[in-house]
A and B are shown apart, each in its own frame.
Chain A
Amino acid sequence: MAKKWGQRIRNWMANKMDLPQDVLMDLPRITMIGQIHIYIENHRGLLAFTDKELRLLLKQGQLQIKGKSFVIKTILPEEILLEGKIDQVMFIND
């Protein structure tokens, strides 16, 4: 209940005070350059990595990226830069 309250307050603050949502709400910030690069900030770890699929753990749910010939260019605790041919970016909520 308390967590929900916190979320709500943050959401409200973000709306009212015009602050970026990703900072306040721990959402991933995803930057894509065409099909070839994808840059994800604020992830919570690697779940699966093959040359056709990358799954990342987020604060809420997972992010699935599908494509071809994936190479992780850089990986840091909260950031990841993926290179390859990206076909899909999907959020999985369960």
Chain B
Amino acid sequence: MKNLWMEYLFGIVTVKVSGKGMERFINVLIRNGFYIWKVKRHGTETITFKMRLEDAKKIRYFVRNSGCRVSFLRRTGMPFLFKRMLKNSGFLIGAGAFLIIIFVLSNVIWGIEIKGAKPATEYQIRKELDKMGVKIGKLQFSVKNVEGIQRQLTNNIGDLTWVGVELKGTTYHLQVVEKNEPKKPEQLSPQNLVAKKKAIIVKRYIEEGQPMVDKNDHVEEGQLLVSGVIGEGENSKMIAAKGEVWGETWYMSHVELPFETSFKVYNGNEEQKHSLLFGKYELPIWGFGKPDFKESETETVEHKIHFLKWELPISYVHKTIREREEYTRNYTEKEAEENALELARKQIKSLLDEDAIIKDEKILHKDNKNGKVILDVHFKIIENIAVGQPISKETHE
């Protein structure tokens, strides 16, 4: 027997015919090309059979001449199923909402696990993550990708040597390696303090040891400032000399600064593009058309979409296109000089300890050559010049 899939697809109607001459009526129907099946007799004057929905719509004309009464009993098949589905659309909406909710929840950050960090560092990491928007309950799309998080964490937290960030399902796993900065060992071995540079002593602050120089003394590099040997003759004793000796030191700095410099800068014009990536095919969602930027740089962030624990071959791509512009900075002679001086100061500061003070600066030589300003600056600095030098017993004895 023929299977009735096509009929089911287009709808099936059960028809009840009653009256006399039903056989004739059926003959008329089949001769006119209607397809009829499952003809059953109920009692003396009733017959039921099934036919296609589209045929049932055309039946009226033939009923009129037959003297039978026709009514439709049951409707099966897709069109009726569809109608019923619309009627009970609540279920459909529920199923849809369920899928969407699972979908959304699969892409939410549900946990952040930090391993290998001290509580203090962990707190710091959590704060930094908060700042980045990596919080429990946030969508993964709104967050930078794993490499970005890793980079920002290592850059912003000084105590970290390395952070491994891994996204497993809905949880971020952070593997932390902390910098174990060696603590300066308490120097108990005997030492002297010597000058690390040629200087004039400005002030002394000595905790332990025998001072060997006075204020306004001129010292050479390596000269003994504070001796670790105290007492005289038989009673002499060696200790670790401790203290600070501040001296005035001199530095020369040579800087060159061109009047005209060209930079590549972003001028603030940018365009955002959102799209979905199905395998290789990209479907834009928002942000159409090509921006008319002469020079531009594109930053692309890609997020994989998850469903429960599986990664779908669909990803969400967010592109930022920024316009770039050539910018030329022009200095007048005076500005160039000021900036060059500032540059020199920075250069000097990078060489010095943090607590050093620039006392005085003097421009020794100034020159304009080849579109550049060339400065030689002399700095007077007040800094701690004392450094420890262990006393070896051999030399002493």
- Chain A residues with CB below 8 A from B31, complex form: 45, 77
**Do A74 and B23 form a contact, CB below 8 Å, given A49-B47, A50-B41?**
no
Give the contact stretch, choosing among A2-10, A12-20, A22-30, A65-73. A65-73
**Do A70 and B41 form a contact, CB below 8 Å, given A47-B23, A75-B36, A81-B1?**
yes
B121 to chain A, nearest CB (A): 80
Q: Mark A48-66, 1 if CB is under 8 A from B, else 0.
A: 1111000000000000000
Which one of B1, B27, B40 lies within 8 Å of A45 (CB-CB)? B27
Residue contact B40 to A75, C-beta cutoff 8 Å: no
Q: Mark B293-315, 1 if CB is under 8 A from A, else 0.
A: 00000000000000000000000
Residue A46 lies at the interface, judged by CB distance under 8 Å to chain B? yes
Residue A76 lies at the interface, judged by CB distance under 8 Å to chain B? yes
B35 to chain A, nearest CB (A): 7
Q: Mark B203-219, 1 if CB is under 8 A from A, else 0.
A: 00000000000000000
Which residues, 19 to 39 on B, are CB-close (under 8 Å) to A? 22-24, 26-27, 30-31, 33, 35-39
| Interface size class of chain B, counting residues whose CB lies under 8 Å from the partner chain | 20 to 34
Task: Give the number of residue pairs across the A-B interface with Cβ within 8 Å.
Answer: 47
Which one of A49, A70, A74 lies within 8 Å of B1 (CB-CB)? A74
Chain B interface, DSSP helix/strand/loop, else mixed: mixed
The listed residue with most A CB atoms (<10 A of its CB), out of B2, B22, B24, B27, is B27
Residue contact A74 to B2, C-beta cutoff 8 Å: yes
The listed residue with most A CB atoms (<10 A of its CB), out of B1, B37, B39, is B39
Residue B266 lies at the interface, judged by CB distance under 8 Å to chain A? no
B42 to chain A, nearest CB (A): 8
A40 to chain B, nearest CB (A): 13
Residue contact A71 to B27, C-beta cutoff 8 Å: no
Which one of B24, B27, B37, B47 lies within 8 Å of A73 (CB-CB)? B37
Residue B49 lies at the interface, judged by CB distance under 8 Å to chain A? yes
Residue contact B1 to A72, C-beta cutoff 8 Å: no
Q: Mark B41-68, 1 if CB is under 8 A from A, else 0.
A: 1001001010000000000000000000
Which one of A48, A74, A77 lies within 8 Å of B37 (CB-CB)? A74
A47→B31 CA distance, assembly (Å)? 14
A81→B37 CA distance, assembly (Å)? 9
Residue contact B30 to A76, C-beta cutoff 8 Å: yes
A71→B49 CA distance, assembly (Å)? 9
Residue contact A49 to B39, C-beta cutoff 8 Å: yes
Residue contact B1 to A73, C-beta cutoff 8 Å: yes
Q: Which residue of A lies closest to B31 (CB)?
A: A77
Residue contact B35 to A76, C-beta cutoff 8 Å: yes
Q: Which residue of A lies closest to B32 (CB)?
A: A77
A34→B353 CA distance, assembly (Å)? 110
Q: Which residue of A lies closest to B22 (CB)?
A: A49
- Chain A residues with CB below 8 A from B39, complex form: 49, 71-72, 75
- Chain B residues with CB below 8 A from A75, complex form: 26, 30, 36-37, 39
B15 to chain A, nearest CB (A): 13
6 nearest A-B residue pairs (beta carbon) = A72-B39, A46-B23, A45-B27, A51-B41, A74-B37, A50-B41
User: Chain A residues in contact with chain B, CB under 8 A?
Assistant: 45-51, 70-77, 81
Contact sample, A vs B, 23 pairs, CB 8 Å cutoff: A45-B23, A46-B27, A47-B23, A48-B23, A49-B23, A51-B40, A71-B40, A72-B37, A72-B39, A72-B49, A73-B1, A73-B37, A74-B1, A74-B2, A74-B36, A74-B37, A75-B26, A75-B30, A75-B36, A75-B37, A76-B35, A77-B33, A81-B1
